[in-house]
Amino acid sequence: MESKKLNIITNVLSAKKLKITHQRIVVYQAVMETNKHPSAEQVFERIKDNNPSISLATVYKTLETFVENELINKVSSPGGTMRYDAKRKHHNHIYITNTNEILDYEDEELSKILMNYLNKKKFSNLNITDIKLQIKGEKVNPSKGISIT
Amino acid sequence: MESKKLNIITNVLSAKKLKITHQRIVVYQAVMETNKHPSAEQVFERIKDNNPSISLATVYKTLETFVENELINKVSSPGGTMRYDAKRKHHNHIYITNTNEILDYEDEELSKILMNYLNKKKFSNLNITDIKLQIKGEKVNPSKGISIT
DNA sequence: CTCCAAATAAGAATTATTATTATTTAGTAA
DNA sequence: TTACTAAATAATAATAATTCTTATTTGGAG
C-alpha cells in the first residue's frame, strides 16, 4: 500500500512532465496527508526529521512548482503567510482568527447558488477564475473542534 | 471644505479617543481617498512627498492602530502583502491576478442570500465574525477597467 | 552508460513587517 | 500660558517570510 501510494504520486508527477524526485514525492505526500493548510515552513517541519537533507528553499520551490502545475493551491491567510492545500473539489475556507487555523468548508449547494447568482451579473473585461466564500470567525473554545450540521 | 474634511477626521479620531496627530490625519486621508486597497508601502509613497518626515514605521503603526479601532480593514491578498481599505459598508473583493489590483464588489442582495443560507447551517463552537465572497480573476485587457451590470 | 537539462543544497539577498529606543508632542490641569 | 506626562513618532535595528544565486547533483532520454 505504501508502494501503491507512491505509484499514484509518480503518476501525477509524470502526467505533468515533472521529474520524479525524492524531494517532490515527500513534499507532495506531506501536503496531501494533512488537511491543515500548512505553510511552507510547516511542510518543512513535517518532513525534516525523516529527510534532513531537504532544504527549506527546496520546499518553497517544490510547492511553487506544484502550484504552477495546479497540483495544489496557494492561499493567503489573514496571518499574512501563504498556506498550501491539496487541490481537490472546490471548497471554501473558514479562517479561525484566534488559532490561525484554516478549515475547509465544502458546500456544493452553496457553490451552485453562487455560480448561478454571479452568472446573471455581467462583468465586462473580467475573466473569473475562482469564486470562494471566506468565512472568518473564532473558536468559542479554542481546544475543541468545530462541527457543522 | 478642506477644513470640513479635516473636521470629520478629527471627530472620528477623538470618538475613538485617539490623539489627533498630523501623521494620523494624513494616513487616514490617504486610505480614504483611494479605493485601491493600498499596502502600507503604497500609503507611504502616497504621502511622503508632502510629508517627508513621516516614517514608514509610523505608517505601519498608524494603520495598525486604525485597524484595532475598526476605522479601516486589513485584508490579505494573493500577492502576499497586507492591504488596507476604508471601512465602509460590507463588501466583497475581486482580486485581479494579472494586475494585483483589489476591487470592491458591493452587493447587498448577495450578502442577504449568503447570510440567510449560512444561518440555516449550525456551526458549533464557531463565532462567525465576517462572511465575504472572494472572486479571483484576470483582466482581459489590463489597461482597461472593469464594469459590472 | 553517458550526457545534459533540470533539480537541489546551502546560504546570501530581498521584502514585508515588527520591535527598540531616544526624542517629541497632544492634551490636560494648574 | 505653562508645565507635565503618557502616548506617539523617527530612525533604525531586528525578525520573519520568501526568493535568488551558484556550485553540485541527478533523473531520464538516448
- Is A149 among the domain residues? no
Position B140 scores a pLDDT of 94
Over range B6-29, report the average pLDDT: 95
Q: Is A24 helix (H, G, I), strand (E, B) or coil?
A: helix
Q: What percent of chain B has pLDDT over 70?
A: 98
The domain spanning residue B137 has which CATH number? 3.30.1490
Q: Is residue A144 part of a domain?
A: no
CB neighbours of residue B94 within 10 Å:
21
CA at A53, C1' at D24: how many angstroms apart? 14
Same domain, B103 and B84: no
B2 and B75 together in one domain: yes
Look at residue A3 in the predicted model and tell me its pLDDT.
63
Same domain, B123 and B143: yes
Phi-psi domain of B88 (left: phi exceeds 0; alpha: psi -120 through 50; beta: other): beta
Contact A60, A66 (CB under 8 A): no
Q: Which of B88, B107, B122 is the last residue of a domain?
A: B88
Q: How confident is the model at residue B129 (pLDDT cuts 50, 70, 90)?
A: confident
Nearest alpha-carbon partner for A131 in A98, A107, A95, A147: A107
Based on the fold, state whether residues B43 and B77 are members of the same structural domain: yes
B7 and B75 in a common domain: yes
Residues of B with CB under 8 A from a CB of A: 74-80, 82, 94, 96-97, 110, 113-114, 117-118, 121-141, 144-149
Same domain, B67 and B16: yes
Instruction: State the Cα–Cα distance between residues B88 and B78, nearest whole angstrom.
Output: 22
Same domain membership, residue B57 and residue B4: yes
Residue B59 grid coordinates: 505608517
Phi-psi region of A37 (alpha: psi -120 to 50; beta: other; left: phi over 0): left
pLDDT score, position B92:
94
pLDDT of residue A49: 96
CATH number at A100 reads 1.10.10.10
Residue nearest to nucleotide D7 (CA to C1'): B19
Verify that B32 and B48 share a domain, yes or no. yes
Task: List pLDDT tens digits, range A25-66.
Answer: 999 999 999 989 999 999 999 999 999 999 999 999 999 999
Summarised one tens digit per residue, pLDDT across range A58-105 is 999 999 999 999 999 999 999 999 999 998 889 999 999 888 999 999
Å: B63 CA to C25 C1': 19
User: Which amino acid is located at A46 in the chain?
Assistant: R
Query: Is the Cβ–Cβ distance between A101 and A36 less than 8 Å?
Result: yes
Of B36, B59, B88, the last residue of a domain is B88
Domain membership flag for residue A143: no
Overall number of domains in chain B:
2
Q: Are B70 and B105 in the same domain?
A: no
Residue A122, in any domain of the structure? yes
- Distance (Å, whole) CA B84 – CA B10: 20
The verdict on residue A32 lying in a domain is: yes
* In a shared domain, residues B43 and B96: no
Q: Which of residues 74-133 of A touch strand C (CB under 7 A)?
A: 80
Mean pLDDT of B30-58: 96
pLDDT of residue B2: 58
For the record, the C-alpha cell of B42 comes out as: 503604497
The residue that minimises its CA distance to C1' of D17 is A81
**Contact indicator for B97, B69 with CB cutoff of 8 Å:** no
pLDDT reading at A1 higher than 60: no
- B78 lies in the same domain as B95: no
Q: In this predicted model, what pLDDT tens digit does every residue of A103-130 receive, in sequence order?
A: 999 999 999 999 899 989 989 999 998 8
Which of B56, B73, B88 marks a domain boundary? B88
Q: Which of A44, A30, A40 is nearest to A86 (CA)?
A: A30
Look at phi and psi of residue A26 and say left if phi exceeds 0, alpha if psi is from -120 to 50, else beta: alpha
Integer Cα distance of A71 and A10 in angstroms: 13
Burial class for A80, CB neighbours closer than 10 Å (0-12, 13-18, 19+) = exposed
Range of the domain at A97: 2-137
> How do A92-96 and A126-139 pair as beta strands?
parallel
pLDDT digits (tens, 9 = 90+) for B50-81: 999 999 999 999 999 999 999 999 999 999 99
Q: How far apart are CA A95 and CA B29, in angstroms?
A: 30
Instruction: Grade residue A5 by pLDDT with cuts at 50, 70 and 90.
Output: confident
Residues 6+ apart with CB under 8 A from B60: B40
* A145 in a structural domain: no
